[in-house]
């Protein structure tokens, strides 16, 4: 007979209307804009992507509805770039934002949508802008209601509202071919982070848990394959699907868990890319949480381990870097979570993405500040002292 608590809760769908996926799905852009009744479309992207044939193709597909372009969205979406883009969007009187690129232009689009709506006079509140996104990485800012950006003090902060979830996503693997390999693979580790931390976050409803469990072995399998064969479109398509499943359909605001919280504290302040923060923090965080979390979450980690071990070809053996001498007396679910962390660590290093805090110029004297900004209420299982120990382990 099960000793697990009876599930209880409510699930609400997001504003996401359509996900187009597969080769040449970019061609759905005109009809998607029509479905949103878009008439004045503004394109947000980054400087590098703005110089590519992909960006020109997107402009052509938008056609005469295009009323402006901003290519000034930098890494971690600095607020200065968001302010400039917001002024451009306002001047163009746009009704729809198309975000092309990775997490930064996608988050910037959400932030602009949020700020324009909340800054309107209460006597005449603005209509929420539409958002359509074309991701070129696997970082998966795609399906959430959160918008992370870097404030004037250099700290990562966020806004959240259910209306910020994009209405349309277009996953076209051909649109990812210009993405640098290190960015592509490390952003995939961000999706691994989503899938694992979903399993021990409080309040996740059954559909979110089910898709996270499905995504995890897909991510392991196809990240390893993409590392070996970077140009293979079939592998990239599978990774896009796994990215989508890793955090969809997620109805909750805020950081997913401890690794994400630490990543937010590290990324903007120390100019560490999103995906690399997951490469640094996920394995250590997973091992710590696995030992402390409740049995129902340990059971999910056990299931995740079973699926990874049972279906990932050429799975590299787990490392023992985050194991401890007393792990053998822990409940089986805790042991399985620690072993899963070892597989994550092995995956990071097999993909050539291993690094340390030292390599980014972070001194131990900064650990207290990182802990303060990166712990937070979404990490109920691991206390401050253990977070400091994690930072020591990855230093």
pLDDT confidence of residue 125: 58
For tokens 């996503």, what's the residue?
169
Q: Is 170 helix (H, G, I), strand (E, B) or coil?
A: strand
pLDDT confidence of residue 345: 98
Taking 70 as the pLDDT cut, the residues of the chain under it are 1-5, 121-126, 250-251, 375-379
pLDDT confidence of residue 4: 59
pLDDT confidence of residue 169: 97
pLDDT confidence of residue 141: 84
Q: Where in the chain is the domain with CATH 1.20.1090.10?
A: 180-393
Count the residues in the chain.
395
The bridge status of strand 66-70 relative to strand 41-44 is: parallel
pLDDT confidence of residue 298: 97
pLDDT confidence of residue 1: 47
Q: Residues of the chain with pLDDT > 70: what percent?
A: 95
392: part of which helix (H) or strand (E)? helix 384-393
Q: Is 168 helix (H, G, I), strand (E, B) or coil?
A: strand
Q: Mind listing the pLDDT tens digit for each residue in 61-97?
A: 999 999 999 999 988 888 999 999 999 999 999 999 9
- Tokens read off for 314: 């050429």
Taking domain 18-175, whether its CATH number is 1.10.10.60 is answered by no
Q: Which fold has domain 180-393?
A: Dehydroquinate synthase-like, alpha domain (1.20.1090)
Q: Where in the chain is the domain with CATH 3.40.50.1970?
A: 18-175
Segments in 102-174 forming alpha helices (H)? 103-118
The number of CA neighbours under 13 Å toward the Cβ of 312 is 27
DSSP 179-224: S-HHHHHHHHHHHHHHHHHHHTSTT--HHHHHHHHHHHHHHHHHHH
pLDDT confidence of residue 12: 80
Cα separation of 208 and 262, whole Å? Answer: 22
DSSP 333-366: HHHHHHHHHHHHHHHHHHTT----TGGGT--GGG
């Amino acid at each position: 007979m099960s000793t697990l608590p009876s599930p209880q809760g409510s699930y609400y769908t997001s504003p996401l209307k359509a996900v187009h996926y597969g080769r040449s799905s970019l061609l759905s852009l005109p009809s998607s804009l029509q479905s949103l009744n878009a008439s004045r479309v503004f394109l947000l992207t980054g400087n590098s992507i703005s110089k590519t044939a992909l960006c020109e193709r997107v402009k052509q597909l938008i056609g005469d509805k295009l009323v402006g372009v901003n290519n000034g969205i930098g890494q971690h979406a600095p607020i200065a770039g968001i302010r400039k883009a917001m002024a451009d969007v306002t001047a163009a009187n746009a009704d729809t934002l198309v975000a092309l690129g990775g997490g930064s232009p996608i988050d910037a689009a959400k932030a602009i949508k949020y700020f324009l709506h909340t800054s309107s006079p209460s006597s005449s509140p603005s209509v929420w802008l539409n958002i359509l996104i074309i991701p070129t990485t696997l970082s998966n800012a795609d399906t959430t209601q959160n918008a992370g950006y870097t404030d004037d003090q250099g700290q990562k902060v966020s806004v959240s509202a259910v209306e910020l979830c994009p209405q349309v996503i277009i996953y076209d693997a051909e649109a990812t071919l210009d993405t640098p390999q290190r960015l592509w693979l490390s952003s995939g580790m961000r999706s691994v982070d989503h899938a694992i931390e979903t399993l021990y976050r409080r309040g996740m409803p059954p559909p979110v848990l089910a898709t996270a469990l499905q995504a995890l072995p897909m991510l392991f399998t196809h990240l390893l394959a993409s590392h070996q064969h970077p140009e293979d479109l079939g592998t990239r398509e599978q990774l896009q699907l796994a990215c989508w499943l890793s955090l969809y359909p997620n109805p909750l605001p805020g950081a997913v868990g401890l690794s994400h919280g630490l990543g937010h504290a590290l990324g903007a302040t120390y100019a560490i890319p999103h995906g690399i923060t997951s490469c640094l923090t996920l394995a250590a965080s997973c091992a710590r949480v696995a030992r402390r979390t409740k049995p129902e979450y340990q059971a999910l980690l056990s299931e995740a381990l079973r699926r990874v071990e049972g279906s990932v070809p050429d799975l590299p053996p787990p490392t023992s870097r985050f194991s401890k001498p007393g792990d053998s007396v822990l409940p089986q679910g805790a042991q399985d979570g620690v072993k899963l962390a070892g597989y994550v660590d092995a995956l990071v290093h097999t993909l050539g993405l291993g690094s340390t805090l030292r390599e980014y110029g972070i001194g131990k004297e900064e650990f207290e500040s990182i802990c303060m900004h990166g712990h937070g209420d979404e990490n109920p299982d691991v206390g401050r002292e253990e977070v400091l120990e994690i930072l020591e382990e990855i230093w």
